[in-house]
Copies of this chain bind each other. A is one copy, B any other.
C-alpha cells in the first residue's frame, strides 16, 4: 500500500516519518521547496508536484484554509483520502462524494513546522477517526490499522460528535483564556499574575487567524459548549452571592475538582471485540479506543476503567 502525505508541517512531517519508520512506501509533498528538501535530507521520499501523485491513500495535512488550493490537483485521484484537520463537519461537506474518512490526531504542540516533526509524535496519543453513515467501514479499518500500528489510540466517532467534543475541550478554552487576559488588563494585576494566570491564558497565545478558523469552522458547536460553560459560571456567580459564599463555592467547585482529578482516565483492561460499526461508535462515546488488530474480524479495545461494562 502506497501512502502519500500532502503538507509536511508538524503533523504531516511527523506522520511521514512514522510511516517511513514503519516500513511503508510513503511519499510526501509540500508546496514549499525548502520543506521538501528538508524531508529528503531526513531520508524521506518526496515528489515535486502533485501531477505525479500515485498512491493508494492520501493524507491531507494542510490547514483548512489551504485545502481549497490542494483539492483541484486531486481531481483525477480516486484512492482513499483522509485528513488531520481539527474540525470535521466542514471536511465532510467539502469531500462529499469522495472516498473519504475524516481524522484528527490530538497531537498539537506549541511548535510547528517540519523542523519539529517527530516519528513518535502519535505514540499513546488519541487519533479521532470519523465513522459517519457514508463512511466505508473497510476504509475506516484500513486507517485505524495504520494508526494503531504507530501507537495511536484510534477513537471512533462521527464528524458531529467530534466537533461538539473539541468545541468543549479545545475551542472554548481559547475563548476563556482570552476573556481572562481582558479581565486582567491593568498593570497591577498583570504584575501580580503568576502560574494560575500563566496556564489559564496560555492558549490566548494561539494566532488569532487560527482561532478564527476554529470558531468559523465550528461555530454552532462552539456556541453550544460556550453556553454550557456560561451556565456553569452563572452558578458560580450565584454561589458568590450566597449568605455563606465559601460554603456555596466549595459545593459548586467540588464536582469539577473530582472531574479534573479523574482526568485523564485510567484505562481499563484490554478487551477483544468483533468489528462492528455500532459497537465502534459506542466505544468512542464511552471514551474508549481501538488499541490493536487481532485479525480481520477482531480488535482489541480499551476504555476508561470506570466505564468498563
A260 and B203 CA atoms in complex are apart in Å by 9
Would B183 and A263 count as touching, CB distance under 8 A? no
A185 touching B259 in the complex, CB below 8 Å, given contacts A176-B176, A249-B211: yes
Stretch at the interface among A14-22, A28-36, A250-258: A250-258
**Residue A288 CB within 8 A of the other chain:** yes
Bound: A124/B226 CA distance, A: 37
Specify which chain B residues have a CB less than 8 angstroms from the CB of A114 in the assembled complex: none
Beyond the given A172-B180, A174-B196, A178-B236, please list 20 additional residue pairs across the A-B interface where CB-CB is below 8 A.
A106-B192, A108-B194, A109-B195, A165-B184, A170-B192, A170-B194, A173-B200, A176-B200, A177-B200, A187-B304, A190-B304, A191-B265, A201-B260, A204-B257, A211-B253, A216-B245, A223-B240, A223-B241, A226-B233, A230-B234
Which among A157, A174, A257 has the highest number of chain B CB atoms within 10 Å? Answer: A257
A sample of 5 inter-chain contacts (CB < 8 A) reads A168-B180, A178-B253, A186-B285, A211-B249, A223-B237
- Most chain B beta carbons < 10 A, residue from A239, A260, A261, A265: A260
* Contact between A193 and B263, CB atoms less than 8 A apart: yes
- In Å, the complex CA distance between A239 and B216 comes to 10
Please tell me if the beta carbons of A155 and B191 are within 8 angstroms of each other in the complex.
Answer: yes
Residue contact A179 to B232, C-beta cutoff 8 Å: yes
Contacts of A70 in B (CB 8 A): none
Residues of chain B lying within 8 A (CB to CB) of residue A172: 180, 183
Question: Which secondary structure dominates where chain A touches chain B?
Answer: helix
Contact of A237 among B181, B226, B234, B246 (CB under 8 A): B226
Find out whether the CB atom of B169 lies under 8 angstroms from the CB atom of A257: no
Flag if A182 contacts B232 (CB, 8 Å).
Answer: yes
Interface residue tally on A, bucketed by range: 35 or more
Interface residues of A (CB under 8 A from B): 106-109, 125-126, 128, 155, 157, 161-162, 164-166, 168-170, 172-197, 199-209, 211-213, 215-217, 219, 222-223, 225-230, 232-234, 236-237, 239-241, 244-247, 249-250, 252-257, 259-261, 263-265, 284-289, 304, 307
A173 to B223, CA, bound (A): 21
Hey, which chain B residues are within 8 Å of A155, CB to CB? 188, 191-192
- A264 and B198 CA atoms in complex are apart in Å by 9
Give the chain B neighbours of A234 by CB distance below 8 A. Answer: 230
Contact of B168 with A189 in the complex, beta carbons under 8 Å: yes
Give complex CA distance A265, B126 in Å: 36
Chain B residues with CB under 8 A of A188:
155, 157, 161, 165, 284-285, 287
Q: Which interface residue of A184, A191, A203, A264 has the most chain B CB atoms within 10 A?
A: A191
Closest Cβ neighbor of A227 among chain B residues: B237
Q: Are A180 and B173 in contact (CB under 8 A)?
A: yes
With A178-B252, A254-B208 as known contacts, state yes or no: A222 contacts B240, CB within 8 Å: yes
Question: Which residue in B128, B191, B211 is a CB contact (below 8 Å) of A289?
Answer: B191
Q: Distance in Å from the Cβ of A131 to the closest Cβ of chain B?
A: 13
